[in-house]
Amino acid sequence: MPVSAVISAADGTTAVMLAGADGKAHQKAVKVGIRNGDDVQILEGVTASDKVVATGAYGLPDNTKIKIEAAGEVPPEGAKEGSKTPTEGSREK
């Protein structure tokens, strides 16, 4: 998993944001293992079928409504130039 998907708290706990079937982001505690460059091993907390918010999860409040975008999807016209294009999810306006 990309290390950018992991949220680290001051107390040492780690979590990720999942894109729920209800169209909202949900914080899920995870246990991390080996970190290798931009990748991190997740030992507990998510399954292969979970949709993890890969970028932009830091500061994303739990239960925020989101819109899922496919990797490499072109942002709509009017989007701010230079804005991040998430690979799994983004905040809905």
Q: Where are the domains of the chain?
A: 3-91
Dihedral sign, Cα of residue 40, residue 49, residue 87, residue 10:
negative
Return the CATH number of the domain spanning residue range 3-91.
2.40.420.20
pLDDT of 58: 81
pLDDT of 10: 87
pLDDT of 29: 96
| Residues in the chain with pLDDT values less than 70 | 70-93
Residues 6 or more apart from 24 whose CB is under 8 A from it?
63, 64, 65, 66
pLDDT of 93: 46
pLDDT of 81: 43
Q: Which amino acid is at 27?
A: Q
pLDDT of 72: 62
